Amino acid sequence: MPETIFQAWSVAHQNRFEGVLRSILPSAEVAPERLHAAMRYSVLEGGKRVRPLLAFAAGELTGAEISRVNIAAAAVELIHAYSLVHDDMPCMDNDVLRRGKPTCHVQFDEAAALLVGDALQSLAFQLLGEHTLNADPARQLQMVKLLAAASGSRGMAGGQAIDLDSVGKQLSLPELEFMHIHKTGALIRAAVLLGAHCGERLDDANLNLLDRFSKCVGLAFQVVDDVLDSEADTATLGKTAGKDADHHKPTYVTLLGVQAARIMAAELHSEALDTLAGFGEEARRLRELADFIVLRKF
């Protein structure tokens, strides 16, 4: 069954990627030991690794060497991990549970969490600067730019700022979409494009299709997250459930209701698959990931 093959593919990549992260993160025996221990705590043994899987799938599309995609995927995942550590801090979402474990500032302390996030971001860019990810270094510099733009004030950090400003406000659907395109969409897009950039160059038309695919998947991911958050309990989710409603944060569910949010996710799913219609077997994993992201139960 195709689903089983995809599951095997995912698990194999997730397991191998855990080893990549272990080798990339500084050892907890290297000074400053406590900071390094906290960095490893915040990154390892957690998460679905959706962004790395998207990078690996996009790397298959362009025939990229897996050793290169490992590094690109790790850079994206470190940015994601840093954002979770900072978002969980008391001055932001003030959350105590993440991936079934105490959050970094609970397990260590706030100052450590602040520095963990800062250092994980630096490490992401260090990876892109020190490993060969493309035979053409000019193209690799574009990857640096792409990840930095996706992370910064007009990407993920900006989306988080918009999110904070929206607490207690009534957002319109376009405003909510604008927020999520930044907060989660930008980094998902970076994952797909960085994975693809590790391989053969795509022409502009195909790159645009891939970009549209990643935008649809990124938004679908958030809509499904909102649905799951409104329905799941904390144990299943591995993070505090229902917190968005508790914080009076606008979500697709509070704005549209669960049914319409589900329909929206299905439409984005279908649009994502349409953008890949012109590709062949090499886009199989990207299609399957789009299915997984929309149909997942956690």
| 119 touches a copy of itself (CB under 8 A) | yes
Site for a copy of itself (CB under 8 A): which residue of 20, 50, 55, 115? 115
Site for a copy of itself (CB under 8 A): which residue of 51, 68, 80, 86? 86
| 248 touches a copy of itself (CB under 8 A) | no
Q: Residue 259: how many CB atoms within 10 A of its CB?
A: 10
Q: List the one residue out of 92, 78, 171 whose CA is nearest residue 126.
A: 78
Dmax of the chain from CA atoms?
52
Helix axes 186-197, 66-87, angle to 10 degrees: 160
User: From the centroid of its chain, how far is CA 92?
Assistant: 19
Determine the size of the site formed for a copy of itself (CB under 8 A).
Answer: 58
Pick the closer one to a copy of itself by CB: 141 or 295: 141
Classify burial at 244, counting beta carbons within 10 Å of its beta carbon; exposed 0-12, middle 13-18, buried 19 or more.
buried
What is the secondary structure of 196-245 as a DSSP string?
HHTSSPPPHHHHHHHHHHHHHHHHHHHHHHHHHHHH--HHHHSS-TTHHH
What residues numbered 2-21 form the site for a copy of itself, per CB under 8 A? Answer: none
d(CA 177, CA 223): 10
**Helix or strand (DSSP H, E) at 270:** helix 258-275
Closest distance of CB 203 from a copy of itself, Å? 22
What residues numbered 89-108 form the site for a copy of itself, per CB under 8 A? Answer: 89, 91-92
Q: Are 90 and 105 in contact (CB under 8 A)?
A: yes
Tell me, residue by residue from 34 to 73, as one string, x for binding to a copy of itself by CB under 8 A and - for no binding: xxx--x----------------------------------
Pick the closer one to a copy of itself by CB: 2 or 137: 137
Closest distance of CB 37 from a copy of itself, Å? 11
d(CA 1, CA 270): 21
Tell me, residue by residue from 173 to 212, as one string, x for binding to a copy of itself by CB under 8 A and - for no binding: -----x----------------------------------
Residues that bind a copy of itself (CB under 8 A): 26, 30-32, 34-36, 39, 82-83, 86, 89, 91-92, 109-112, 114-115, 117-119, 121-126, 128-130, 136-138, 140-149, 151-155, 157-158, 160-162, 164-165, 178
